[in-house]
Amino acid sequence: MKGVWLVAKREILTRGLSRSYIVGVVVSAVLVAGLTLLPGLLGGPSEYRVVLTGTESAELATAIEAAAEGFEEFSVETAEVADPEAARAEVEAGDADAAIIDNTTLVTESGADQQLAVVIDGAHQAVTTQRQLAEAGFDPADVNAALTVAPLQDDQLGGDDAGARQGIAYFLVIVLFFMVMMPTMYVAMGVVEEKSSRIVEILLSSLKPWQLLVGKVAGLGVLGFVNLAVPLAVGLAMGDVTGAVAELPSGLTGTILSSLVWWVLGFCFYAAMAGALASMISRQEDMNSAIGPLTMLMILSYVVAAVYAWQPTTLVARVLSYVPPFSMFMMPVRDAVNDAPLWQQGLSALLMALAAVGMFALGATIYRRSVMRTGSKVKLTEVLRKSS
């Protein structure tokens, strides 16, 4: 274990203290912190001002304000002005979002925002209908009663916030993909660096090949984890302060935290594979072809997950959430929409952990058999067939 620790420590110290790494962590933390402020900046309450003039202004104003109350984070302030010129002037100056003249003309800069238009249109319909019915001889009280309609009940079959949950699941898939991809590449590059500089020969005179592989994966894994966890912690803390976390659909904080576990499992799986594949080549130029199978598998599982993030309760999604390495993306997706009980997540994590261990065993074998062979790319079949 001491050998593993020394190798890991060297990775952590040499890369972790490098300027590029530290800057990277700080930048992502700042970006994530900025993201938590976004909802407040973009999705804040919409406030409108509507000016009215001429006939039925008072009725319209009352109707508009009443309708606006039905919406959350939406409010309309109304005011009466002296004449049409004043109303147009307010809209032109940008002081008002809309002006209504004589309950016949709507003045805006370039059309009213959708929600505002709906409210104004509704008010216009209501006030006009009421007047016309009254003119036709109906009792205003009866008219009023007849016109009062209870709003439609909102019943989302996907449960509350289904859209938000799927959006966050999709976001998690993207984050997991990139956060696993990056340190995995570092593992591959590090293995080739040691092999191409032949330093591996000195290392292997005092270390076993598996110690070198495990130490490298562990060291770069710690750095990758910090790179993921620090921005996440900053984001959650900031979100707590700004109230963004409280607005998350319930249980999603847990999903975000458990995605850290999925990250660890997924990284171990892919990093072991990357180390093994990279040990078969001697030059950085051969990297793309060497780790081609890994990139393919990773992109495939990412694309599948990205598609099924929007259909997380289908059979395919449920099956794939148990199949390593697809499960590292699919299970968080299902968890995000509350489709996976804890035992299912545990079972899937266990399978993924077993796959990672298996990949380590296979990777260490490939690594041991090919790391000392230099020159052209070692063939995988050759490495696997060799019995010694």
Partner 1 sequence: MLEVRNLRKTFGDNVALDDVSLTVEPGRMFGFVGANGAGKTTTMRIAMGVLESDAGDVRWDGASLTKSRRADFGYMPEERGLYPKMKIAPQVAYFGELHGLTPAAAKRAAGEWLDRLGLGDRGDDFVQDLSLGNQQRVQLAVSLVHDPKMLILDEPFSGLDPLAVDTMAGVLADRSAAGVPVIFSSHQLDLVERLCDTVGIISKGKMVAAGTVTELRRSAGRRLRVNVADATPGWEQTLPGPATSCGDGEWLVDSADDQGVLAAAMAAGRVVRFGYDEPSLADIFREASA
SS3 386: coil
Residue number, 110 or 206, with CB nearest to partner 1: 206
Q: ∠ CA 368-325-182 to the nearest 5 degrees?
A: 70
Count of Cβ atoms closer than 10 Å to residue 312 Cβ: 26
Q: Which of 197, 250, 314, 376 binds partner 1 (CB under 8 A)?
A: 197
| x-or-dash string of contact with partner 1, 347-386, rule CB under 8 A | -------------------------x--------------
CB 97 within 8 A of CB 108: yes
Structure tokens at 373: 């062979």
**Nearest distance, CB of residue 204 and partner 1, angstroms:** 5
Which one of the spans 10-18, 155-163, 335-343, 349-357 is the region binding partner 1 (CB under 8 A)? 10-18
Q: Which of 198, 243, 251, 341 binds partner 1 (CB under 8 A)?
A: 198
Q: Is 204 in the site for partner 1 (CB under 8 A)?
A: yes
Residue number, 104 or 197, with CB nearest to partner 1: 197
Residue number, 11 or 97, with CB nearest to partner 1: 11
Q: Is 208 in the site for partner 1 (CB under 8 A)?
A: yes
Which one of the spans 2-10, 241-249, 285-293, 302-310 is the region binding partner 1 (CB under 8 A)? 2-10
Q: Is 206 in the site for partner 1 (CB under 8 A)?
A: yes
Amino acid identity for residue 10 in this structure: R
Count of residues touching partner 1 (by CB under 8 A): 21
Structure tokens at 288: 């793309």
Count of Cβ atoms closer than 10 Å to residue 342 Cβ: 10
| CA 27 and chain centroid, separation | 17
User: 265: closest CA among 161, 347, 351, 204?
Assistant: 351
Q: Is 24 in the site for partner 1 (CB under 8 A)?
A: no
Q: How far apart (Å, rounded) are the C-alpha atoms in residues 199 and 201?
A: 5
- Strands in the chain per DSSP E: 46-53, 74-80, 98-101, 105-107
Q: Is 14 in the site for partner 1 (CB under 8 A)?
A: yes
Structure tokens at 194: 């040691």
Residue number, 76 or 371, with CB nearest to partner 1: 371
Q: Which of 205, 246, 343, 387 binds partner 1 (CB under 8 A)?
A: 205
User: 173: closest CA among 351, 274, 321?
Assistant: 321
Contacts of residue 209, defined as CB under 8 A and 6 or more positions apart, other chains included, come to: 364, 367, 368, 371
289 to 195, 286, 378: CA distances (angstroms): 17, 6, 12
311: Cα within 13 Å, side-chain hemisphere: 9
Q: Is 22 in the site for partner 1 (CB under 8 A)?
A: no
Q: Is 202 in the site for partner 1 (CB under 8 A)?
A: yes
**Nearest distance, CB of residue 230 and partner 1, angstroms:** 24
Q: Which of 200, 287, 359, 378 binds partner 1 (CB under 8 A)?
A: 200
| x-or-dash string of contact with partner 1, 165-194, rule CB under 8 A | ----------------------------xx
Q: Is 203 in the site for partner 1 (CB under 8 A)?
A: yes
Binding positions for partner 1, rule: CB under 8 A: 3, 6, 10, 13-14, 193-194, 197-208, 372, 388
